[in-house]
Amino acid sequence: NAIRENSIRQTALLVELAEAVTKLMINSNSCTAAFTQQAGIAALEGPHDAVMAMVAAVSSVFAVYGRLTGPSDSDSTFTWVGRVGNASGTVIAPNWVLTARHVSGTFNLNGTDIAHDARFEHPTSDLALLRFSTPFAGFHPLFNGSALGREASIVGFGNSGTPRTNLTGYNWVTAAGTRRAVTNNVGLTQTLAVNYGGSIGVLNVAMYLADLDSHDPGTPAPYDRDWFGDGGATSNEGNVSVGDSGGSWLVDDGGVWKVAGVTSVRFFADPLPAGATGDPDPFMAFGVSGSGAVNLNDPNNWNWIQATMVPEPATLIALGIGVAATLRRRRK
């Protein structure tokens, strides 16, 4: 009976999510304009009532960190997550930075701007790679596996949040530009049809999804629910906000922090459950909101990254000549 009830519950959850996904809509304005547009999606998408009916609206403009007023080890642990413009990106190989396609700008690591010599954009996903001529001293490698069911550290340079007095979620604070880290359980995988706007338009993106859960036993219903049924709040539960797009979802793989996803969207339930229908900012509310990252384990994403980072033919030829010269010297 327990197994059957769990199966029914999971089926209901998938139906709820599927209905939400059919209405998913993302607005993707430039990072540069993000701070002047913080009045809300209403200023971008139309009347606030219409916006409340949307499942999602995030990108470089609305890319969450919830519990970021407390201590964070992001500066010492996630050294290779930097800024790309007003958003985020991560060094994943000696000469490469991974970010979101809807993010643009110069890469900045620990306060130093570093110009890239080439930018490559995934044609059908929200990913971009920046190539650098001078190698970095270190990097966060890619995670070669599924992060579903694992706890991820979500790292970026977005806004922070302060707890609401009624324990229903967070109020965002304009404090973008500082590297911060939160944690969340990767609860679902789903391919979302996302309209990033501008020249990008609609992309069908394989995503990791995580819901925002409350720690506090005093949180009222329905904000106290574990929407995805993925185990409730983690020790440093959080979501994503302005400036976090392009940042990383990292998992601990044998003591090494590896990149499993790239922050791309955030969302809320549509319709909102009874008791939350008048929420002033459902993107920051417990039990009804969440965030999404491009799933790097998806073949469409993984294979593109690997193929893009392969040395160009001229480089391979030069390498071959160098190896041949070395062999000749050794034979002499």
Task: Report the pLDDT value the prediction gives residue 33, as an integer from 0 to 100.
Answer: 27
Domain-located, residue 319: no
| Contact present, 116 and 136 (Cβ < 8 Å) | no
Least confident piece of the model among 1-5, 25-29, 262-266, 312-316:
25-29
- Check pLDDT > 50 for residue 316: no
| Rounded Cα–Cα distance for residues 74 and 59 (Å) | 22
- Check pLDDT > 80 for residue 211: yes
Compare 292 and 35 and report the one with higher pLDDT: 292
CB atoms within 10 A of CB 233: 21
**pLDDT band for position 318 (50/70/90)?**
very low
Instruction: Supply the mean pLDDT for the chain.
Output: 77
In DSSP notation, 84-151 reads: ETTEEEEEEETTEEEE-TT--S-EEETTEEE--SEEEE-SSSS-EEEE-SSPPS---PBP-S--TTSE
Measured in residues, the chain has a length of 332
Domain-located, residue 320: no
Task: Report the pLDDT value the prediction gives residue 303, as an integer from 0 to 100.
Answer: 98
- Check pLDDT > 50 for residue 74: yes
In this prediction the pTM is 0.77
Domain-located, residue 323: no
Compare 88 and 312 and report the one with higher pLDDT: 88
Candidates 211, 149, 179; CA nearest to 78 is: 179
Mean pLDDT of the 268-283 span? 89
Task: Report the pLDDT value the prediction gives residue 170, as an integer from 0 to 100.
Answer: 87
Angle, alpha carbons 251-181-78 (nearest 5°): 65
| Rounded Cα–Cα distance for residues 82 and 157 (Å) | 8
> For the chain, how are helix, strand and coil distributed in percent, rounded to 5?
20, 30, 50
pLDDT digits (tens, 9 = 90+) for 182-210: 999 999 999 988 888 888 888 999 999 99
Tokens 């020790």, located at residue: 235
Domain-located, residue 162: yes
**pLDDT band for position 172 (50/70/90)?**
confident
Task: Report the pLDDT value the prediction gives residue 253, as an integer from 0 to 100.
Answer: 98
Task: Report the pLDDT value the prediction gives residue 163, as an integer from 0 to 100.
Answer: 87
Looking up residue 82, the CATH number of its domain turns out to be 2.40.10
Task: Report the pLDDT value the prediction gives residue 159, as an integer from 0 to 100.
Answer: 81
pLDDT digits (tens, 9 = 90+) for 83-125: 999 899 999 999 999 999 999 999 999 999 999 999 999 999 9
State the total domains in the chain: 1
Least confident piece of the model among 3-17, 30-44, 50-64:
30-44
Task: Report the pLDDT value the prediction gives residue 262, as an integer from 0 to 100.
Answer: 97
Domain-located, residue 332: no
Domain-located, residue 317: no
- Check pLDDT > 60 for residue 327: no
What is the Cα Rg of the chain in Å?
21
Domain that holds residue 267: 2-308
Task: Report the pLDDT value the prediction gives residue 43, as an integer from 0 to 100.
Answer: 19
Task: Report the pLDDT value the prediction gives residue 7, as an integer from 0 to 100.
Answer: 53
Domain-located, residue 223: yes
Domain-located, residue 83: yes
- Check pLDDT > 60 for residue 233: yes
How far lies 280's CA from each of 11, 49, 172, 253, in Å? 30, 11, 12, 38
Tokens 């806004």, located at residue: 159
| Contact present, 107 and 211 (Cβ < 8 Å) | no
Task: Report the pLDDT value the prediction gives residue 243, as an integer from 0 to 100.
Answer: 85
